[in-house]
Amino acid sequence: MVILLIIFALAVFVLPNIWAKWVLKRYTKGRDDYPGTGAELADHLLRRLGVEGASVERTEFGDHYDPETRCVRLSPDNYDGRSLTAVTVAAHEVGHAIQHFQGYAPLIARSRLVGVAQKAEKLGALLMMAAPFLFLLTRLPGGLAIVIAMAVISFGTAAVVHLVTLPVEFDASFNRALPLLKEYVPPADMAGARHVLTACAFTYVAASLASVMNLGRWLVILRR
**Burial (0-12, 13-18, 19+ Cβ within 10 Å), 161:** buried
Beta carbons of 215 and 157 less than 8 angstroms apart: no
55-58 sheet: strands from edge to edge = 55-58, 71-74, 64-66
223 has a pLDDT exceeding 60:
no
In a domain, 137, yes or no: yes
100 has a pLDDT exceeding 70:
yes
Residues 42-65, mean pLDDT to the nearest whole number? 96
In a domain, 21, yes or no: no
Its pTM stands at: 0.80
DSSP 183: T
Range of the domain at 126: 31-223
Q: Look at residues 162, 71, 65 and name the one whose alpha carbon lies nearest to residue 109.
A: 162
Q: Look at residues 63, 87, 92 and name the one whose alpha carbon lies nearest to residue 76.
A: 63
> Cα 207 to the chain's mean position, in Å?
7
Catalytic residues: 93
Q: Per residue in 104-145, pLDDT tens? A: 999 998 888 777 766 766 776 676 676 666 666 556 556 666
In a domain, 11, yes or no: no
Amino acid at 108: I
In a domain, 47, yes or no: yes
In a domain, 118, yes or no: yes
Average pLDDT, the chain: 83
The share of the chain scoring above pLDDT 70, in percent, equals: 69
In this structure, the dihedral spanned by the alpha carbons of residues 24, 19, 175 and 35, taken in order and rounded to 10 degrees, is 10
Residue 2 has what pLDDT?
54
Q: SS3 of 71, please?
A: strand
Residues 16-39, mean pLDDT to the nearest whole number? 91
Packing angle of the helix pair 105-138, 84-102 (nearest 10 deg): 80
Residue 224 has what pLDDT?
57
Residue 181 has what pLDDT?
96
Beta carbons of 35 and 45 less than 8 angstroms apart: no
In a domain, 134, yes or no: yes
